[in-house]
Structure 1
Amino acid sequence: MATSTPPQSLTLPDAELCYRSNGHGSPVLFIQGVGVAGSGWLPQTDDLSSEFACVAFDHRGIGRSRTTAAALSIEQMARDALALMDAVGFPTAHVVGHSMGGVIAQQLALDAPQRVTSLALLCTFSQGAEATRLTPAIVWLGMRSGIGSRAMRRRAFLEMLFPPAYLAGRDLVALSACLQPLFGRDLAEQPPIVMQQLKALGRHDCSGRLPELASIPTLVVAGKHDPIARVEYGRRLAQLIPGSRYVEMADASHGATIQDPSAINRLLREHFRASETPHADAR
């Protein structure tokens, strides 16, 4: 049976990171995206901890984590993740990243490839600027998530995460309330650190180095209806990492890890197991 520890903290020179570990087995580090606390991975860690030692954390400046640094960068957040691996005793780990977390995972793997057993890059990008590209649809959703009544802002946020077919006929008030513990906040609110995270993401581009990750078993997952990490971004990311496996979820959007956790968890289990077999390195 999986065991869960109370939230713990890691003190760094300019930050304090809150994290939670759960389960036993091969180590897995989960890295979340913009504006989301580590609890956003609960649909994965609650299930996968029956077979794997799972660690998820709050990025500096969000949830229970704090920072005194004046600036934020993807490189710094990748160093945070490596420091956390050291603190929990993970010499190596399967690294899973969603959205901005996928970009951080790529940087971590480039910085310390010997520490990464496998990569799982979910609803993410090869270039941070792809995430911050202002299409008319994203501008409209962004405006609606920041103005109007709290109910209107929550609905706009839900439309960023889920496709119309998923939201049709659902009680959106109940759905928003259900998601609040995962995101660590009311969906109508935006933590101040979000703008810094978006700026850091928009500045980051390690796409030219991604072929260096060819020796790391990599899974790339995209949602067909994702307005943020569009499917063409996922395909490009998979093309840039030789030997990676690309999976496109026909009914999913940016919140695929929440919308269909059983499918995501099945893909992760398969990926972790395949990465640990002897043939995984003979590619």
Structure 2
Amino acid sequence: MGETIDAGGVDLWVERRGTGPDVLLVAGLGDTAEAWQAQLDGLADRYRLTAFDNRGAGRTPLSEEPLSVPRMAEDAAALLDALGIPAAHVAGFSGGSFIAQELALGRPELVSSLVLVSTCARPDAYFRSMTGFWHWMAERAPSERAMLEAFFLWVYTPRAHADGTVARIVEETLAFPHPQSVDAFQRQLASFVRHDTLDRLAQITAPTLVLAGELDLATPPRLGRVVAEGIPDAEFEVLPGEAHQPFQEVPDLFNARADAFWREVGARG
């Protein structure tokens, strides 16, 4: 069961599981703590995992103040402070990986390591055009189901569309009792489009693993490679046959790779 935590004046909905070294899981556009269910279930025997709803997603309200990636990184830092966690391994995907970058830049003492999944440092022309389409698609899709079915074309592999995985996720999303509003979706999306750490990546000191899906349309490997090349000594891996959310589609593979990386970081001290 989750709970609401006052994180610097923001009521963040938080799910916690397991025991061991601390891991903070940071979700992307529109996603809630449940997006990390396979990690909360699969890694709890080795780690104390914390996942949360970003502002405007799920059970965390969206305030009237301007939304930005640095502001959401401050929320993540305030959550760690409120929970009394001095440092954690931080894993973020898509927009959550943008937040994780800003967290590592703004509060480096809180970040033991970074796992950045489906990431980029500065959106390019394709990304901006794609997200511009998402912006008006959220308003004009004939139904929430149609919106999800279209949006997920950029998110999941052809395999997941063929084997029923996407259909299941659509049904679960429609049944979720805390849907994201169109306004919240658009405001989160706009903040992620403004993300830019390209000229500051060299300042990140945390050990970093960058994972990219070979078939990712939204943040293809070329964008992740730029991030890995900009962060000193970062590791970069392309996952063959995977798309934007491998932690959901192949959770055993993802969990094993993240676990191996965290153990390596821990062994280095």
**CA distance in 2: counterparts of 1:108 and 1:219, whole angstroms:** 15
1:195 is aligned, of 172, 186, 191, to 186
Asked if 1:87 is matched to 2:82, the reply is yes
Code of the residue aligned with 1:53 in structure 2: it is R
2:122 to 127, 133, 136: 127
**Structure 1 260/74 Cα, relative in aligned 2: closer, same or farther at 3 Å?**
same
**Residues 51-130 of structure 1: matches in 2 within 5 Å?**
51-128=46-123
The CA deviation string for residues 70-113 of structure 1, in whole angstroms up to 9 with x for no partner, is 21011111110011001112100000010011011011001111
RMSD over equivalenced CA pairs, Å:
2.4
Separation in 1 of the partners of 2:177 and 2:94?
17
Question: Is contact 1:14-1:67 (8 Å) kept?
Answer: no
Task: Return 5+ residue gaps in structure 1 as ranges.
Answer: 1-5
| Alignment-derived partner of residue 157 in structure 2 | 163
Q: CA deviation at 1:157?
A: 2.6
CA distance in 1, matches of 2:83, 2:125: 33
Cα deviations across residues 17-51 of structure 1 (Å, max 9, x unaligned)?
Answer: 11011111000000010111111111111111110
Distance between the aligned counterparts of 1:233 and 1:184, measured in 2?
34
The residue number in structure 1 matching 2:207 is: 217
Q: Secondary structure at the match of 1:60?
A: coil
| Equivalent-residue separation in structure 2 for 1:171 and 1:276 (angstroms) | 35
Deviation at 1:231, TM superposition (A): 1.1
Please state whether the residue corresponding to 2:217 is helix, strand or coil. coil
TM alignment of 1:8-23, pairs within 5 A: 8-12=3-7, 15-23=10-18
1:139 deviates by 6.4
- Offset at residue 239 of structure 1 (A): 0.7
Mapped to 2, the partners of 1:118 and 1:126 lie a distance apart of 17
Choose 64-73 or 223-232, whichever is displaced more: 64-73
Structure 2 contact 156–166 (Cα < 8 Å) conserved: no
What do the CA deviations read for 1:128-180 (whole angstroms, capped 9, x no partner)? 45784215xx6667766651355433321331221223322537543422455
1:249 is aligned to 2:249? no
- Residues 1:16 and 1:131: Cα distance change in structure 2 (over 3 Å): farther
Q: Give the TM-score taking structure 2 as reference length.
A: 0.90
Are the counterparts in 1 of residues 145 and 174 from structure 2 also a CA contact under 8 Å? no
Q: Confirm or deny: 8 A CA contact 1:30 1:56 kept in the other structure.
A: yes
**1:108 partner letter:** L
Structure 1 Cα separation of the partners of residues 41 and 240 of structure 2: 25
Say if 2:7 and 2:79, in contact at 8 Å, map to a contact too: no
CA separation of 1:170 and 1:236: change in aligned 2, threshold 3 A: same
Matches of 2:169 and 2:33 in 1, distance apart? 19
Cross-structure match for 1:3: none
Separation in 2, partners of 1:267, 1:259: 14
8 Å CA contact retained: 2:135, 2:186: no
Change (3 A) 1:179 1:261: farther
Structure 2: unaligned runs, 5 residues or longer: none
Q: How many residues align?
A: 268
Shift of 1:69: 3.4
| 2:220 equivalent in structure 1 | 230
CA distance in 1, matches of 2:203, 2:92: 18
Alignment correspondent of 1:31: 26
Amino acid in structure 2 at the alignment position of 1:48: L
Shift in alpha-carbon separation, 1:130–1:74, aligned structure 2, 3 A: farther
Contact 1:129 1:204 in 2 (8 A): no
Q: Distance in 2 between matches of 1:67 and 1:144?
A: 21
Identity, % of aligned pairs?
A: 29
Per the normalisation by structure 1, the TM-score is 0.85
Cα-to-partner distance string for 1:236-274 (whole Å, 9 max, x where unaligned): 111111211111111111121111111111111011100
